[in-house]
Amino acid sequence: MPGTDFQGSFGRSLLSLRRDQVDLVAGSSSHHNHQHEPSNMEVELDSFQRQVAEKFIDLNASGELLSLEWIGKLLDSFLCCQEEFRAIVFNHRSQISKPPMDRLISDYFERSIKALDVCNAIRDGIEQIRQWQKLADIVISALDSHRPVGEGQLRRAKKALIDLAIGMLDEKDPSSSSGTNLAHRNRSFGRIRESHHHRSIGHFRSLSWSVSRSWSASKQLQALANNLATPRSNDVAASNGLAVPVYTMTSVLLFVMWALVAAIPCQDRGFLQVNFFVPRHFQWAAPVMSLHDKVVEESKRRDRKNCCGLLKEIDRIEKCSRLMNELIDSVHFPLSDDKEIEVKQRVGELVEVHEDLKNGLDPFEKKVREVFHRIVRSRTETLDSLC
């Protein structure tokens, strides 16, 4: 497991890294005499680095990676970092308007605007999951009764399962007809369908995105990551070290957005194309990169073509509904007791995920919205203070 090696060495390297950090912050060896009593500002900036690192160490250790709960924690961590960052920017606002900070800060805010579009796309994605959740709900209400499972119930469940499977196909290529054909085959009923035109197709993917068809989450992430480089030492020196937290916050922003796109369905995810790398000498680099690698690994593990988001709950729904689909295809009436028990068992699993989503999605959506609002507010505040 790639995560373990850093956790062992991290405690030890923390202090030495911090020292390096101070060095970096100070920007030149002429400041060596400061090393023993760092200025308030150095302490402040160093504490930010440490806090970011701690947040991500926690994220490595807590909860199931890529579960709704975990992503919620990721967003909480982002909000904390953002809050700290905001305070730093506010405390040093006099420097923000001077080069090189003016350039660095405006670069950060430009990237954060790009993140806003990601947040909106994620909100669409959450709605998409809700649609699946609704279909799962129909399956459940068809089969989760105390009476024995009948043919009608199975048919109804089957129909919802097919809709669900179609809905969960990755819509990478909107012109692809795989979903459409399947749709036609499975839901046509008699002549009504045949006389009908384009509109009938839409019901599986009836939920459309709030952005145009050409918008791409993967391109957005690439734009967010574009030319993101570690701060140059002369910038660090000229900004009294402020260039470092800006870089840190940008990296956190990028990572969080990348993880969201990885987990939640959105238009053209292809997220692995984004290069994300942080040099090891940042305190938070190891835990962030470790999470990054874990997510990448997870996506490789699940590189089935139709994966529409690495969110654990999506995986569970998908698996559950696939198994149930197969099960329903295999049964004959009257149902044997074994099969009946199996059906009930699958329904039980589906109920469980459904419950998790029901309880988790609303707070998660609120958090995504909160991230959006905080990014906007922080940008507005800084623009105001620059006036």
DSSP 142-202: HH-SSSPP-HHHHHHHHHHHHHHHHHTS--S-TT--HHHHHHHHHH--HHHHHT--GGGGG
| Stretch binding other proteins (CB under 8 A), from 15-23, 82-90, 187-195, 346-354 | 187-195
Q: Is 207 in the site for other proteins (CB under 8 A)?
A: yes
Q: Is 137 in the site for other proteins (CB under 8 A)?
A: yes
- For residues 151 and 297, which CB has a smaller minimum distance to other proteins in the complex? 151
Q: Is 155 in the site for other proteins (CB under 8 A)?
A: yes
* Residue bearing tokens 């194309």: 273
- For residues 220 and 248, which CB has a smaller minimum distance to other proteins in the complex? 220
- Residue 144, both tokens: 């989760």
Q: Is 148 in the site for other proteins (CB under 8 A)?
A: yes
Annotate each residue in 117-136 with x if it binds other proteins (CB under 8 A) or - if it does not, as one string: x--x--x---x------xx-
Rounded CA-CA distance 309/184 in Å is 25
- Within 13 Å and on the Cβ side, how many CA atoms surround 218? 12
State how far Cα 257 lies from the chain centre: 6
- With beta carbons less than 8 A apart as the criterion, state whether 245 and 88 touch: yes
| Stretch binding other proteins (CB under 8 A), from 53-61, 63-71, 114-122, 258-266 | 114-122
Rounded CA-CA distance 134/317 in Å is 12
Q: Is 195 in the site for other proteins (CB under 8 A)?
A: yes
- For residues 26 and 274, which CB has a smaller minimum distance to other proteins in the complex? 274
Q: Is 191 in the site for other proteins (CB under 8 A)?
A: yes
- With beta carbons less than 8 A apart as the criterion, state whether 302 and 315 touch: yes
**Quick one: which of 15, 175, 189, 337 contacts other proteins (CB under 8 A)?**
189
For residue 384, the minimal CB distance to other proteins (Å) is 6
**Quick one: which of 41, 79, 138, 351 contacts other proteins (CB under 8 A)?**
138
**Quick one: which of 38, 72, 150, 270 contacts other proteins (CB under 8 A)?**
150
**Quick one: which of 141, 181, 233, 345 contacts other proteins (CB under 8 A)?**
141
Q: Is 373 in the site for other proteins (CB under 8 A)?
A: yes
H helices of the chain, where?
2-26, 40-61, 68-91, 93-96, 101-143, 151-167, 178-187, 190-194, 217-225, 233-238, 243-263, 285-301, 312-330, 337-386
- Residue 28, both tokens: 């030149």
Tell me, what amino acid is at 257?
M
For residue 12, the minimal CB distance to other proteins (Å) is 43
For residue 151, the minimal CB distance to other proteins (Å) is 6
Rounded CA-CA distance 14/288 in Å is 15
CA angle 6-9-13, nearest 5°?
110
Binding-residue total with other proteins (CB under 8 A) = 53
Binding site for other proteins (CB under 8 A): 113-114, 116-117, 120, 123, 127, 134-135, 137-138, 141-142, 145, 147-148, 150-153, 155-156, 159-160, 187, 189-192, 195-197, 199-200, 202-203, 206-212, 215, 220, 223, 373, 376, 379-380, 383-384, 387
